[in-house]
Structure 1
Amino acid sequence: MMEPVSYRKKLEGKSNAHLITFSDGKDYVVKFFQHGFEKSLPNEWVAYPLARFLGLPTPFARIVDIPQNFLTEVEELAQMSDVRYQFASRYIPNCRDGHEVDITNKKVVLTNDDWQLASIILFDYWLANTDRTRKNILLKETAADSYHVTVIDHAEIFGNYFWLIDDLEKLPVDVFKSATHQFIAKFIKQEQSFFDVLEVIQQIPVLLLEEIVELIPEEWKVTREERKAIVSTLIKRRKRILPEMIEKFIGKVYRPLKKG
């Protein structure tokens, strides 16, 4: 079992994230359960296996057990939640976020293939992740002005990190205002890539969706009714809503970008 070995530092932002080295020798960004952000960790967990299934460029992640004795030995963690399980994603060094790279520079290119780039956009629309901002992409330079993009931070899928069941019925159904999506879309060569990814999303077994939700730790306080609502929302959006949203995105964003 992977265990925390040494504490590095607290990271910027509202997500209560800390950099910790684990027994596998790797550094991880660990998000801790906190009141007021009750759905943050469940959101991260639901998003992660779906992102991996679709082949999104996203860091390896897992649910981790942080022992109480480790918390008490680190001043920054001493008052941390007594919830046993937290969410950890592998830290990727030597990257810059979208604020640190001028994504409006016409010389900048992304080296990810069409599938990965289209998957990012469909994934965000499917899970109602309106938080795909410049700070939630990592850009690793592979050559001069060439970058490989990685997506991080899915704490605000389903609209936010404190959603209730009724909120899942009110998720957005129109095109998101996202400069990051526009930036990514510029490098998708074939429009068909959107529909290829859509087909895979619609074929993900319902049993897999149910198993992912079932694995949310009880300590994260997601009720049985909320778990059922997550699965129902994912099914409804991929069948009825996602196809229309992507058609709108292609018409309003993708095609104008390609013409420009």
Structure 2
Amino acid sequence: MMEPVTYKRKLEGKSNAHLITFSDGKDYVVKYFQSGFEKSLPNEWVGYCLGRYLDLPIPFAKIIEIPQEFSSQVPELAEMSKTPYQFASVFVPDCFDGHQAANICRINNYQSLAGVILFDYWLYNCDRTRKNILLREESPRSFKIWIIDHAEVFGGFAWEQADIENLPMSLIKSATHQMMALFIEDEQQFYEQLELIQTIPILLIEEIVTLIPEEWNVSKEEKKAMVTALVTRRNKELPDIMKHFIKTVYRPLHYCIKNLKNLKNSQS
């Protein structure tokens, strides 16, 4: 069984994330269950599992059991929740966040970008900021992108059942989505990703939600509501949201790009 070995440091942000080395020799970003953020770990788990199924660029993660003996020896962890189950994702080194990366000319794994945008709208992740992507430069001005931090899907880290039964259909104000849209070469990619989302087996969604630890205090009624919201939203609401995004965000951006290219060509 993988066990924590060395505590390194607390990471920036409000999600109570800590960098810990485990017995497999890898560093993990570990988020602890905490009062006031009761749904952040369930959100992370569901977001991770669905994102991995869709083959989105999301770091490997798992629910990890951390002995209380380890946490009690670290001042930063000593007052954390007594539940042994936390959420741990592999730390991706040598990356910039969206604020730090400059002069991005190419996203090497651009084929995933339409899927990321639809994924965020499906789960209503209104926290896809520039801090919640990682960019590793693989060649000059060419980057690989990862998506991280899904603590605020379903509209927030402290949602109640009524919240996820009425998730908004409006567009999310996200400069990061706009940046991603610039590198999507064909709007048909949105339709392909929508089809993939809609064909995820319902039994798989139910299994993912069922595996949320009891210690994270998600009731049976809330778990059922999560599944219902995911299935209903992908079939009835996501297609309309996608078309609105393409019309309002994607096409205007690419229209501007096309005009700029034509202008440059005419001046050359």
- TM-score (norm: length of structure 1): 0.97
| Alignment partner, residue 46 of structure 1 | 46
| Residue of 93, 107, 112 corresponding to 2:109 | 112
Deviation of the 1:89 alpha carbon = 0.3
- 1:149-164 mapped onto 2 (5 Å cutoff): 149-164=145-160
| Alignment partner, residue 72 of structure 1 | 72
- Cα distance in 1 for partners of 2:215, 2:165 equals 25
- Cα distance in 2 for partners of 1:158, 1:42 equals 10
* CA offsets 1:169-211 (integer angstroms, 9 cap, x no match): 3312021111000000111111111000100110111100000
| Alignment partner, residue 121 of structure 1 | 117
- 1:216-235 mapped onto 2 (5 Å cutoff): 216-235=212-231
- Cα distance in 2 for partners of 1:227, 1:75 equals 34
**DSSP 3-state at the match of 2:165:** helix
- 1:231-250 mapped onto 2 (5 Å cutoff): 231-250=227-246
- Cα distance in 2 for partners of 1:74, 1:167 equals 36
| Alignment partner, residue 25 of structure 2 | 25
| Alignment partner, residue 213 of structure 1 | 209
Deviation of the 1:81 alpha carbon = 1.0
| Alignment partner, residue 87 of structure 2 | 87
* CA offsets 1:38-90 (integer angstroms, 9 cap, x no match): 00000000011100000110100000000011011112111111011000000
| Alignment partner, residue 259 of structure 2 | none
| Alignment partner, residue 174 of structure 1 | 170
Moved over 2 A (4+): none
Deviation of the 1:108 alpha carbon = 2.6
**DSSP 3-state at the match of 1:198:** helix
Deviation of the 1:163 alpha carbon = 0.3
Contact 2:165 2:225 in 1 (8 A): no
Q: How many pairs does the alignment contain?
A: 256
Moved more, 73-82 or 220-229: 73-82
- Cα distance in 2 for partners of 1:127, 1:173 equals 11
| Alignment partner, residue 99 of structure 2 | 99
| Alignment partner, residue 145 of structure 1 | 141
| Residue of 104, 110, 131 corresponding to 1:135 | 131
What's the RMSD between the two structures over aligned residues?
A: 0.9
| Alignment partner, residue 263 of structure 2 | none
User: Which one-letter code corresponds to 1:176 in the other structure?
Assistant: I
- Cα distance in 1 for partners of 2:126, 2:72 equals 36
| Alignment partner, residue 7 of structure 2 | 7
Q: Based on CA coordinates, which of the two structures has the bigger radius of gyration?
A: 2
Deviation of the 1:14 alpha carbon = 0.6
- Cα distance in 1 for partners of 2:110, 2:128 equals 19
**DSSP 3-state at the match of 1:199:** helix
Contact 2:63 2:87 in 1 (8 A): yes
- Cα distance in 1 for partners of 2:244, 2:9 equals 42
- Cα distance in 2 for partners of 1:197, 1:138 equals 21
- Does residue 195 in structure 1 map to residue 191 in structure 2? yes
Contact 2:115 2:193 in 1 (8 A): yes
Percent identity between the two aligned chains: 60
Name stretches of at least 5 consecutive residues in structure 2 with no aligned partner: 257-268
